[in-house]
Structure 1
């Protein structure tokens, strides 16, 4: 059995230590990425929703890159939204820009009523490319 290996993007370890979780766990050729939010450098939520979504994707890409992955390696996405109906158009435009051409990863979107001050969170599973 493979032992899990924690992955942390440079400069963000303190955030994960404070909250006691890993940014991602590598297990075999799979990477399980914790939910990423649109936090600014100080950890606070970006108030503009479109910018918050973009920052969440930027944070996600930093975690993926630390494990040698990119958005092209993502196979499963789960996202959390505080107001899915009102947020869909903004999110969808950014999602399509970030994931590029089909085939797209599968995606489950969940409406929630609390995200610790954020309005969007994204978590993924990616396959780590072989060396």
Structure 2
């Protein structure tokens, strides 16, 4: 029986996720990176309250995870976004396009009553990236 080699990806400043909450911001298996849902929490672990800035923070957090794994947004092949208000989709797409440019991934958007069980979070984004 073979065991798949996997590596937790934990960027600097996200160590608390592994230690306090008990999960990795991402897991690398072979050339595939599975990125956990990223939320609009800054380096001080504080909710970014402004909606636009919170969306930017989600993608900045994802960028940190990708960079720690030696990847960029061009490696992302699939994204799932969770929204507490689906009317935010135009804002989401505007911010997403700033990070992805012309390398758009497959995408699924899901409405959610709440995120993280904490009021004030509007967006969570998880992704899969592949380094070829």
Partner secondary structure for residue 108 of structure 2:
strand
Quote the Cα distance in structure 2 between the aligned partners of 1:15 and 1:26: 16
Gaps of 5+ in 2: none
Instruction: Answer with 87-96 or 119-128: which moved more.
Output: 87-96
The within-5 A match list for 1:54-65 is 54-65=56-67
The number of residue pairs the alignment matches comes to: 127
Residue 30 (structure 1) aligns with: 32
Quote the Cα distance in structure 1 between the aligned partners of 2:131 and 2:16: 25
Quote the Cα distance in structure 1 between the aligned partners of 2:57 and 2:25: 15
Give the one of 18, 26, 42 matched to 2:20. 18
Gaps of 5+ in 1: none
Residue 104 (structure 1) aligns with: 104
CA offsets 1:79-112 (integer angstroms, 9 cap, x no match): 1000012x122111111111101x5110001000
Shift >2 Å, 4+ stretches: none
CA offsets 1:38-97 (integer angstroms, 9 cap, x no match): 102221211111100000000000000000000000001001000012x12211111111
TM-score, structure 1 normalization: 0.91
Cα pair distance change 1:25/1:125, threshold 3 Å: same
* Root mean square deviation, CA, Å: 1.2
Offset at residue 2 of structure 1 (A): 2.1
TM-score, structure 2 normalization: 0.91
Offset at residue 15 of structure 1 (A): 2.9
